[in-house]
């Protein structure tokens, strides 16, 4: 059900012959898939329609860059358009106003306003050395005011003392008074969750706005929100006026298509992402990340760039030569491991790769993580240069020494050696193939399965364009 | 043939205007589109779009429209006919899963574990169920199993006061399974009929938090081997396609007996429940329609389907 866009497009473009430009038929087929992918990611339908129309126009007749497949080309166009729509720069809170600067938090019930208020308070206190006052205007949900008071204590900021029976507009007024009198830089007003069609409560929050004159009004929305995101964002924007959006619970596995919808209908930037229940789990918004997530394929463009950057051309050449000659030793394996680690935390990296859902599962079963890479590197480093060059030397006693030196076990040492053997075998086969058919054909697909410990397809540290959608 | 001959671009423009206003006013949208016209491809496609905007999902929407096509393609139809036909289709899908949660008074207590992602409406739903059961004259105990979120205990305690139910609670940070265990002992000693256990909101992809739910279950079994007797997954109607993952993973980690759909009083109609019913055949027990104790209904396939299509409630 949740096929990634890259998988979908792969199916179409596999059937196509390589051409110099994208034909109308190619583009139409791709657009149908993109429509479905976006809808399954919860992008609102009117937004999907506009978006697809725009991308279609851009893709039509585009020259396909030589090094990539038509599928990759379309994905890149879609990705770029997504990033553009989402807003290309991280926008911080605007606090340039006479203190105390009021920030108003609004949203549906259960969207995460109170926790986000606490997070922003902590962030402003820690990063900007601001004196922050938190005030809860939620007099409806049981214990909501108590919740904010506790979060304030956790964040080490002040919260407005609660007066039982006081109503939201009066609380807002008092909060601003206290803010002025006691020299606060920022006053964060957390409101009760409300439905955008609840006329009484929407009217109330409009009155709060008129009293507090917030400099920022943040709409807090759950990343799991479906098609309704477009309606609620428009209504909140029309009735209260928002200056930014916070997308919460992106630590879940929702695609977060609502971000695109809300951004498209309100034109307001997404300012923060909530990524966990703890108060320090607040991130500035990166359009790349959300674009990749919506497409279910990670951040393709930066992956290609990152791979290219990290894998220096000369090194690639050296390795290719080694491969062709069939001389691949443990030093080369070490070099590869380091390349992999340079590209960052392996799991993050996997998240950036297209079509990795399956691979991720394999990896989980093979227990492949960054830690494993580190251990493998330690094992290789505990060998002498001579051993690395001639792995046949490594017998039982040496294995014991290596295991002790690297703080691992003989078993693990064996695993690395086994893995090396598999790879060397592969190289030899490639060499044969290479002799018949020119260069190693997309060695991306030809590596041993993940059980060996190296993620399949990573063998040569991807030649740009060498992985397939 | 109908007297109205609209070309397809005018038809589209009107649809778009409808969509632009709301993604959820499904019935209204159809009303604006179909006064009386032929059900042709364009009309069907736009109907499919309207279903999608209710979060019914691409696949299920396509299926529903295909059924409609089979039945009435090329005929002249009115808005009400289309609505009624679609409502019937949806009702037929939901009918087998719309089942009330049955409490067995012989168990003393019947133990209900309430789970769900953060902010779904677990605590409020517990308050509402407690109120209904008390009104029926049953004895109810609440367990403040959310020992994580700030003031979660206080929140449930307020519901305990409102409904006149004792609340078993410990301080924030305490072991949730321990609270559940104590609550079960208390309810059994009091010979109460039902124990409702609140839990902290958790995202289904957090394995360690899901393991904590298993632990609660396990600890309860030490006292009562078949407890919990029901596990209720609370789902927010605003949720889109991610509801599939929620149902899938929660069901795998702790056996889920049924759903409560909350926040159906908003513009989001929770259409994902239709594809959930198709795929998982999971019972849907309750519909939450507001924040007060009275705002809980048994989930009715017919009322829900008619509401989704903007048809007036019957009777
Ligand atoms: N409009 C409306 N609001 C609801 C409904 N059910 C719950 N809520 C509101 O949704 C918000 C969250 O509800 P809670 O019951 O605290 O949710 P929870 O799942 O216990 O939340 P956590 O414990 O924080 O994970 C509260 O403001 C409730 O009043 C409903 O059916 N309709
Ligand atoms: Mg709760």
Atom 7 (ligand 1) nearest CA: B121
Alpha-carbon span A386 to A383, nearest angstrom: 8
Q: Is residue B273 very low, low, confident or very high in pLDDT (cuts 50, 70, 90)?
A: very high
B270 lines ligand 1 (CB under 6 A): no
Range B291-305 average pLDDT: 94
Q: Which domains does chain B have, with CATH numbers?
A: 8-94 (no CATH), 110-299 (3.40.50.300)
Question: pLDDT tens across A338-362, in order?
Answer: 766 555 444 444 444 444 444 444 4
Please report residues of A whose CB lies closer than 8 A to that of B157.
Answer: 143
Q: Which domains does chain A have, with CATH numbers?
A: 5-86 (1.20.120.140), 101-294 (3.40.50.300), 300-452 (1.10.260.30)
The tokens describing A447, both together, are 């590596």
> Across the interface, do A197 and B54 touch by the CB < 8 Å criterion?
no
Identify the pLDDT of residue A315: 55
> Across the interface, do A196 and B267 touch by the CB < 8 Å criterion?
yes
Question: pLDDT tens across B10-64, in order?
Answer: 333 433 333 333 334 555 566 555 556 777 888 888 889 889 999 999 999 999 9
Residue of A nearest to B201 (CA): A277
Identify the pLDDT of residue A320: 63
Cβ A274 vs Cβ A249: under 8 Å: yes
Which of B19, B121, B267 minimises the CB distance to A45?
B19
Cβ A157 vs Cβ A117: under 8 Å: no
For the residues of A295-363, what is the DSSP string, one character each? HTS--HHHHHHHHHHHS-HHHHHHHHHHHHHT---HHHHHHHHHHHHHT--HHHHHHHSTT-HHHHHHH
Please report residues of A whose CB lies closer than 8 A to that of B144.
Answer: none
Residue, of B14 and B132, whose pLDDT is higher: B132
Alpha-carbon span A403 to A380, nearest angstrom: 10
Please report residues of B whose CB lies closer than 8 A to that of A227.
Answer: 23-24, 52-55, 240, 268
Query: Which candidate in A148, A220, A224 is best for mutational testing of the B interface (most B CBs within 10 A)?
Result: A224
Distance from CA of B224 to the nearest CA of A (A): 32
Q: Which of B114, B115, B121 has most ligand 1 atoms within 8 Å of its beta carbon, as the pocket-test mutant? A: B121
Q: Which parts of chain A have pLDDT scores under 70?
A: 1-21, 63-71, 88-90, 297-326, 339-370, 427, 429-469
Whether the model pTM is above 0.80: no
Identify the pLDDT of residue A286: 81
The C-alpha R_g of chain A, in whole angstroms, comes to 27
Q: Which of B127, B246, B291 has most ligand 1 atoms within 8 Å of its beta carbon, as the pocket-test mutant? A: B291
B122 lines ligand 1 (CB under 6 A): yes
Closest CA to B23 of B269, B209, B256, B194: B269
B153 lines ligand 1 (CB under 6 A): no
Alpha helices in B5-97 (DSSP H): 8-21, 26-33, 41-52, 58-72, 79-94
């Amino acid at each position: 059900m949740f096929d990634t866009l890259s998988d979908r497009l792969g199916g179409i473009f596999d059937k196509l012959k390589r051409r110099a430009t994208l034909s109308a038929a190619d583009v139409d087929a791709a657009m149908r898939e993109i429509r479905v992918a976006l809808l399954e990611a919860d992008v609102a339908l009117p937004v999907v329609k506009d978006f697809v129309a725009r991308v279609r126009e851009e893709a039509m007749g585009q020259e396909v860059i030589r090094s990539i497949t038509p599928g990759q080309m379309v994905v890149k166009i879609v990705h770029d358009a997504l990033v553009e729509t989402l807003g290309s720069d991280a926008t911080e809170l605007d606090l340039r106003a006479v203190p105390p600067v009021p920030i108003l938090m609004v949203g549906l019930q259960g969207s995460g306003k109170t926790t986000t208020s606490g997070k922003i308070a902590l962030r402003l206190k820690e990063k900007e050395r601001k004196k922050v006052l938190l005030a809860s205007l939620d007099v409806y949900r049981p214990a909501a005011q108590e919740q904010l008071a506790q979060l304030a204590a956790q964040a080490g900021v002040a919260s407005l003392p609660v007066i039982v029976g006081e109503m939201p507009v009066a609380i807002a007024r008092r909060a601003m008074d206290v803010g002025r009198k006691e020299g606060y830089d920022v006053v964060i007003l957390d409101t009760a969750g409300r439905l955008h069609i609840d006329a009484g409560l929407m009217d109330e929050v409009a009155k709060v706005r008129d009293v507090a004159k917030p400099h920022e009004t943040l709409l807090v929305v759950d990343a799991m929100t479906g098609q309704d995101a477009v309606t609620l964002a428009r209504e909140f924007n029309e009735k209260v006026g928002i200056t930014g959006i916070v997308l919460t619970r992106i630590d879940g596995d929702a695609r977060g298509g609502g971000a695109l919808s809300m951004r498209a209908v309100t034109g307001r930037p997404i300012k923060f992402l909530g990524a966990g229940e703890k108060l320090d789990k607040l991130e500035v918004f990166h359009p790349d990340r959300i674009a990749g997530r919506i497409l279910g394929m990670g951040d393709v463009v930066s992956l290609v760039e990152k791979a290219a950057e990290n894998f220096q051309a000369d090194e690639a050449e050296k390795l290719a030569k080694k491969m062709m000659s069939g001389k691949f030793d443990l030093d080369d394996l070490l070099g590869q491991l380091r390349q992999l680690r340079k590209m960052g935390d392996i799991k993050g990296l996997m998240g950036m790769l297209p079509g990795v859902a399956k691979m991720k599962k394999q990896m989980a079963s093979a227990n492949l993580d960054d830690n494993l890479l580190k251990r493998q590197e330690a094992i290789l480093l505990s060998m002498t240069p001579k051993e690395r060059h001639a792995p046949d030397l490594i017998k039982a006693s040496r294995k014991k020494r290596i295991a002790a030196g690297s703080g691992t076990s003989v078993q693990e040492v064996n695993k690395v050696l086994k893995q090396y053997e598999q790879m060397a075998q592969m190289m030899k086969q490639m060499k044969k193939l290479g002799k018949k058919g020119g260069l190693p054909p997309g060695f991306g697909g030809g590596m041993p399965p993940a059980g060996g410990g190296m993620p399949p397809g990573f063998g040569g540290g991807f030649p740009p364009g060498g992985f397939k959608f | 043939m109908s007297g109205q001959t609209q070309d397809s671009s005018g038809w589209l423009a009107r649809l778009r205007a409808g969509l632009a206003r709301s993604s959820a006013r499904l019935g209204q949208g159809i009303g604006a589109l179909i006064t009386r016209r032929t059900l042709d491809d364009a009309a069907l496609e736009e109907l499919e779009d309207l279903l999608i905007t209710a979060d019914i999902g691409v696949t299920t929407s396509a299926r529903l429209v295909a059924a409609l096509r089979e039945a009435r393609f090329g005929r002249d139809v009115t808005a009400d006919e289309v609505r009624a036909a679609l409502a019937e289709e949806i009702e037929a899908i939901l009918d087998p899963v719309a089942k009330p949660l049955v409490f067995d008074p012989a168990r003393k207590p019947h133990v209900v574990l309430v789970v769900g992602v953060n902010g779904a409406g677990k605590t409020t739903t517990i308050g509402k169920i407690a109120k209904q059961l008390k009104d029926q004259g049953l004895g109810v105990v609440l367990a403040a199993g959310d020992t994580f979120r700030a003031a979660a205990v206080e929140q449930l305690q307020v519901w305990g006061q409102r409904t006149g139910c004792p609340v078993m609670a410990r301080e924030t940070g305490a072991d949730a399974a321990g609270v559940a265990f104590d609550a079960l002992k208390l309810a059994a000693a009091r010979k109460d009929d039902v124990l409702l256990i609140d839990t902290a909101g958790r995202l289904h992809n957090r394995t360690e938090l899901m393991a904590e739910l298993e632990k609660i279950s396990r600890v309860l079994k030490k006292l009562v081997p078949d407890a919990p007797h029901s596990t209720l997954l609370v789902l927010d109607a605003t949720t889109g396609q991610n509801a599939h993952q929620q149902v899938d993973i929660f069901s795998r980690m702790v056996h889920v007996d049924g759903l409560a759909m909350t926040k159906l009083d908003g513009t989001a109609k929770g259409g994902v429940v239709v594809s959930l019913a198709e795929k998982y055949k999971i019972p849907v027990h309750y519909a939450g329609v507001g924040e007060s104790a009275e705002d809980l209904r048994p989930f009715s396939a017919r009322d829900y389907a008619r509401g989704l299509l903007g048809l007036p409630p019957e009777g």
